[in-house]
Structure 1
């Protein structure tokens, strides 16, 4: 079965069924071991032992280890930006007094809090999926589609106010996404931090603002 078809099956299952208590136990155990040992170095037997279930129960509920991994990753990616995108970006569009700097601060603080609470899953995604070409082709478009249109609307709004430099909105979007990706991956994966300090967030804002906003 192709990765694309597998992804479709997981997403369909997510919309039509709820997890049983055993499924939740398996998923929680898988997240813990994947983050600690890596996806490739983890066996279903180890997951079953930690979850307190028979190994056959994993195959019964998830079919394969790939499918189990996707059952963790897909809902995480679907949640990663859309909720805060609607909330924060909606406020930006309505509040004409909000500056681009304030928008960045709210966005970064919210996402740092979210990743801090879901750090193990974030590490699984970065360590074991982003570097797998087949899964990358399936999952990155899902992430991009969730945030690109919302961010573009915000970028356009600030350009109309004259706050941002005169570059195509798509180029500014790509610059922001590249920076955000590097910021979160370096802190939570490469440096294995538990969270990110307010000082680091302010340094990041200073760097971005001085790159793409117009001098006052």
Structure 2
């Protein structure tokens, strides 16, 4: 699932083309300029509509932000999680440990590069909204952590990953992926160099957790 996640979300909403233009412009402006620094005039200009059209459909800027974030959390995140879980299982059945780490890195880093603006806005919103933070934790981290646990156990049973405490291994693995992702999501870097990052990460993780011969 490497498509533009925001456009995928818009396609599933029963709203007019003008409303989609408003949400599309707002997402980009909120992500690039910041929510407080973006005016409805800015949004209308970027969307190619009258400012009155913005107010007609969305009474406040907060209503616009909610119209972007809430459907994504409710409808698209479960699809993303399931897609990723399917890939995790498939990769583990077919690949060596090092190949697995690289395949996951390429898949997730490509997704981040293709959806940077949306993920930045989502991240900022999560920090500001405790409810959204809980939803993300419940719908993403719990499921992904559980599936990573299954994968690690599978490789351990095949004597390809060391029999260390599971929590320690999961922290090493997930922490490594996050260390590459967060500078982009936080806005410190524009993009991830996918091949370079995936090669480095898979090399490091393979040496860190595989059974020593």
Which one has more relative contact order, counting CA pairs under 8 Å at least 6 apart? 2
| Preserved CA contact (<8 Å) 1:72 1:121 | no
Unaligned runs of 5+ residues in structure 1 are 1-13
* 1:26 lines up with 2:22 in the alignment: yes
2:160 match: 163
Number of equivalent positions: 199
Residue equivalent to 1:143: 140
Distance change (3 Å), C-alpha of 1:56 and 1:165: farther
Change over 3 Å in CA distance of 1:94–1:210 after alignment to 2: closer
Contact 2:99 2:202 in 1 (8 A): no
Query: 1:31 Cα deviation (Å)?
Result: 1.7
| Structure 1 residue 112, shift from structure 2 partner | 1.6
TM-score computed with the length of structure 2 as normaliser: 0.76
Tell me, in whole angstroms, the C-alpha distance in 1 between the residues paired with 2:56 and 2:153: 49
Offset at 1:46?
A: 2.1
Matched, 1:208 2:205: yes
Q: Give 1:190-201 correspondences, 5 Å limit.
A: 190-201=187-198
Query: Within 2, Cα distance between the matches of 1:165 and 1:159?
Result: 6
Deviates more, 1:131-140 or 1:31-40: 131-140
Contact persistence 1:73–1:121 (CA under 8 A): no
Q: How many angstroms apart in 2 are the aligned matches of 1:177 and 1:199?
A: 18
Partner of 2:169: 172
Alpha-carbon RMSD across the aligned residues, in angstroms, is 2.9
Deviation for aligned residue 1:184: 0.6
Structure 2, unpaired ranges of 5+: 1-9
Q: Which moved more, 1:194-203 or 1:184-193?
A: 184-193
Q: Does 2:48 align with 1:52? A: yes
Q: Closer, same or farther in 2 for the Cα pair 1:195/1:30, shift >3 Å?
A: same
What TM-score do the two structures reach when normalised by structure 1? Answer: 0.75
Aligned to 2:61: 65
1:111 to 93, 99, 108: 108
Q: CA separation in 2, counterparts of 1:174 and 1:202?
A: 19
Going from structure 1 to structure 2, the CA distance change for 1:93 and 1:107 (only over 3 Å counts) comes to closer
How far apart are the structure 1 equivalents of 2:109 and 2:158?
A: 28
CA 1:147–1:58 in structure 2 vs 1: closer, same or farther (change >3 Å)?
A: farther
Look up the SS of the partner of 1:48 in the other structure: helix
Matches within 5 A, 1:178-189: 178-189=175-186
